[in-house]
A and B are shown apart, each in its own frame.
Chain A
């Protein structure tokens, strides 16, 4: 963004002010995440940078909190991680299947009451989470599913499907329906056509919807707080409890792992988005 030579001084000043403001905002956005990394390697128990850390003394750093996270005796992180992954994986599978099938129906030009049905399908994304939490809790309590994995998986399917519906309908909007008609005219049945023709073409949209559903489930805490019993504890619940009671460096070790996980997901999602844009012929 170099300025042309003839730029008048007060525009020049304004331009650099603007860049400074932008820099400050980017710093505000990203810097807090980087506080967690070094502190999770702190040798001491306090959540401040010790003098040793400021001097970059190797003795001031240690992996003890990571050890505590994995081997710690009374530590719930193992169970929580297991539960989180199981719940998120099943919730993702459920959301992807239900959401993709529904998106196929919604993208059909024959679909009646499209607007109304779309509004219902994406409502869990629009309604504030606390209200969804209360409503889902009432249902699960009546159905006898409170404090069970099944209940939490179902709840996360409710919250995850809107993302799948949105991403898949967006992908289908650029979809050429004549290819499925061509397949049908060549004698393929609808299921075969879907598996062999439609699905490979919309796969980027399905996967990025699935990633959204996975992250939604993996990070979700409001609804789980209402639903979970001791056996169903998840990583977000443990973090929530830890943050409320005492902020221990072990939580920062977990947080670092979560940041690494979200970086991986971000990279995957970005690659998929670019691929799908390329396929749809949107070029910058």
Chain B
């Protein structure tokens, strides 16, 4: 029998298989059309802009566009000896154009990032260039300042030729490319970003640990108490959860201030002297305390929803088989709560690692995180490409955590409220 004869036909005479496939395709398109508006909206307003951050973070077209002829002439230069006259002539031509457009200041700022000392010699060059005669620009430029005859400075210019750069990423790790083109760390006393990255990790880690230690017992209590009590206690978890972050931060600012209630309490029980009240805000302590309280519901809710599903008879069975309550807990109950622990820890850690508002308000100088640095560069220094680079590094970190979590626990094992 050939396959032709086996085919079942619909009433229209079309093979059933084809007809079904057609219907299936129609359904697929229907389902997709429903998702399409939101998907398109998010891709345009959210996914592409994140890609735009990547472009911005490596973008270094500015100098390339300011000195097009110079870089063209430099292509043949090997960088060993001082460049030939044609490079100087091209540089002169570019520079005159920049002076006309009043953009030489930007050039000096940019080149100064690459090598210190460009600012003054570009200023001198601008003044001198008005009196330049035609021809022999090499001699004329070199006579403006002795640094112009230093081959190091010309190498520094050449390093800015490529349109893309990894400098912003290096800067975020407190590193830079030195004169020889090697990647080195900045001086020890100028390393700020590494400290911030480490501190971000440290605070996120400890906040997660504190949240876990505090959330586990109360989630257990909520899951085992009869409904009428647990509903009331659940409000204690849910009310902070729904309350504005700023309100909760404000209440911590009141509690932790030097004349605040926590300090009053410590004085009244004689823990600290009245004239020697400790500073509990505007430092790491403030960040720890406030962030732990604010993120605690995010740990309690997933733990609770997992514990709710664990039958109490399992613990009884464990005990009746001869385990002490602690053994029964450790061998039976605890392993069953691991999906909830995983979800809670992942949630809290990722929220903590990107925290911005609370550390900015109660963290002071020693309690701020990398997010604060990103916001600082976005709003104050306007170095958006640097902010983008740090943002993307943070995002990569978050994605790596998700990936690891998926490998170890499995993302499908997450249970949220």
Contacts and interface: CB of A to CB of B under 8 A. Distances in A.
A274 B75 CA distance: 72
Interface in A45-72: 46-49
B102 interface: no
A270 B255 CA distance: 30
Given A35-B254, A226-B378, A106 B35 contact: yes
A165 B248 CA distance: 27
B38 A161 contact: yes
B324 to A, nearest CB: 9
Contact of B233 (A26, A101, A136): A26
Range for the number of chain B residues in contact with chain A: 35 or more
A77 interface: no
A247 interface: yes
A39 B260 CA distance: 12
A110 B33 CA distance: 12
Most A CB within 10 A of own CB, among B42, B43, B245, B296: B42
Interface in B197-219: 214-215, 217-218
A140 B274 CA distance: 52
Nearest to A48: B259
A155 B392 CA distance: 19
A129 B356 contact: yes
A272 to B, nearest CB: 13
A124 B42 contact: yes
Interface in B205-253: 214-215, 217-218, 221, 224-225, 227, 233, 235-253
A239 B243 CA distance: 14
Contact of B50 (A46, A131, A240): A131
B39 A130 contact: no
Contact of B244 (A128, A130, A137, A262): A262
A75 B257 CA distance: 25
A244 B233 contact: no
B52 interface: yes
A86 interface: no
Contact of B394 (A28, A49, A128, A138): A128
Nearest to A132: B46
Contact of A128 (B28, B242, B354): B354
Contacts of B217: 18, 21-22, 25
Nearest to A101: B34
B218 A239 contact: no
B341 to A, nearest CB: 16
Contact of A36 (B24, B251, B384): B251
Contact of B45 (A139, A240, A255): A139
B251 A30 contact: no
Interface string A89-121: 000000000110110111010111000010011
B246 A240 contact: yes
Interface in B91-141: none
B53 interface: yes
Interface in A20-43: 21-22, 25-26, 28-30, 32-33, 35-36, 39
Range for the number of chain A residues in contact with chain B: 35 or more
B69 interface: no
Interface in B386-411: 387-388, 391-392, 394-395, 398, 402
Contacts of B356: 129-130, 222
B327 interface: no
A266 B325 CA distance: 36
Contacts of B255: 32, 35
Given A101-B34, A110-B27, A130 B238 contact: no
B56 interface: yes
Given A26-B233, A138-B53, A11 B243 contact: no
Given A25-B214, A32-B251, A134-B391, A270 B28 contact: no
Contact of A120 (B33, B42, B360, B387): B42
A154 interface: yes
Interface string B296-319: 110000000000000000000000
Interface of A: 1, 11, 18-19, 21-22, 25-26, 28-30, 32-33, 35-36, 39, 46-49, 98-99, 101-102, 104-106, 108, 110-112, 117, 120-121, 123-124, 126-139, 154-155, 157-158, 161, 165, 215, 218-219, 221-222, 225-226, 236, 239-240, 243-244, 247, 251-252, 255, 258-259, 262-263, 265-266, 269-270, 284
Given A240-B246, A284-B227, 8 more contacts: A22-B217, A105-B31, A135-B46, A135-B391, A158-B46, A262-B239, A262-B243, A266-B239
4 tightest Cβ-Cβ pairs between the two chains A and B: A128-B354, A105-B34, A108-B31, A105-B35
